[in-house]
Structure 1
Amino acid sequence: MGGDLAPLEAVKGVRQYLAQSPEAHLLLLGDEAQVAPLLAEHDLPAGAYTFVHTPQVIDMHEHPTKALREKQRSSIAVGFHLLATDKIDAFISAGNTGAMLVGSLYSLKPLEGILRPTISTIIPKENGGTGLLLDVGLNSDCKPEQLNQFARMGSIYAETILGIENPRAALLNIGEEESKGNLLAQAAYPLLKSNPALNFTGNVEGRDILLNRADVMVCDGFTGNIILKLCESLFGITQQKGIDHDYFQRFNFENYGGTPVLGISKPVIIGHGISREHAFHNMILLAQKMIYTGVMQQMSI
Structure 2
Amino acid sequence: MPELNIAIDAMGGDNGPSIVIEALQRAVSNYPNTHFTVFGHQDQINPLLKQYHLKESTAVSVVHAEQTILMDDKPGQSLRSKPNSSMRLALQALANEQCHAMVCGGNTGALMTNAYFTVKTLPGVLRPALMTAIPNRVGGKSFLLDLGANASCDSDTLFQFGVMGSVAAEYLLDIEKPKISLLNMGEEEIKGSDVVRNAAARLSQCEGLNYNGFIEGNHLFSGRSDVIVCDGFVGNIALKSCEGLATFIIEQMRETLNSHWLYRFFFKFLQRRTHKSWDRLKPDHYNGASLIGLRQVVIKSHGSANAEAFYSAIQQAVAEAHEQLPDRIKNRVEAVLSEQP
TM-fit CA distance, 1:97? 1.0
- What amino acid does structure 2 have at the position aligned with 1:27? T
Partner of 1:29: 39
Question: Which of 260, 263, 267 matches 2:290?
Answer: 260
Distance between the aligned counterparts of 1:24 and 1:212, measured in 2? 33
Residue 186 in structure 1 maps to residue 197 in structure 2: yes
Residue 82 in structure 1 maps to residue 93 in structure 2: yes
Q: Are 1:170 and 1:202, in contact at CA under 8 Å, matched by a contact in 2?
A: yes
Question: Which of 219, 239, 244 matches 1:233?
Answer: 244
Q: Are 1:235 and 1:248, in contact at CA under 8 Å, matched by a contact in 2?
A: no
- What amino acid does structure 2 have at the position aligned with 1:77? R
Question: Which of 291, 300, 304 matches 1:274?
Answer: 304
Distance between the aligned counterparts of 2:278 and 2:145, measured in 1? 21
Q: TM-score, with normalisation over the residues of structure 2?
A: 0.84
How many residue pairs match? The answer is 301
SS at match of 2:168: helix
SS at match of 1:25: strand
Distance between the aligned counterparts of 1:275 and 1:288, measured in 2? 18
Structure 1 stretches of 5 or more lacking a match?
none
Distance between the aligned counterparts of 2:235 and 2:277, measured in 1? 21
Question: Which of 94, 102, 117 matches 1:106?
Answer: 117
TM-fit CA distance, 1:291? 1.2
Larger proportion of helix: 2
TM-fit CA distance, 1:238? 3.5
Q: TM-score, with normalisation over the residues of structure 1?
A: 0.95
Residues 1-301 of structure 1 mapped to structure 2, 5 A cutoff: 1-47=11-57, 48-242=59-253, 250-300=280-330, 301=334
TM-fit CA distance, 1:45? 4.3
Shift of the 23–188 alpha-carbon distance from structure 1 to 2, 3 Å rule, reads closer
- What amino acid does structure 2 have at the position aligned with 1:172? L
TM-fit CA distance, 1:212? 2.3
SS at match of 2:181: strand
Q: Are 1:257 and 1:278, in contact at CA under 8 Å, matched by a contact in 2?
A: no
Distance between the aligned counterparts of 2:65 and 2:150, measured in 1? 30
Larger radius of gyration: 2
TM-fit CA distance, 1:78? 0.9
TM-fit CA distance, 1:72? 1.6
- What amino acid does structure 2 have at the position aligned with 1:192? L
Structure 2 stretches of 5 or more lacking a match?
1-10, 255-270, 335-341
> Higher mean Cα deviation, 244-253 or 95-104?
244-253
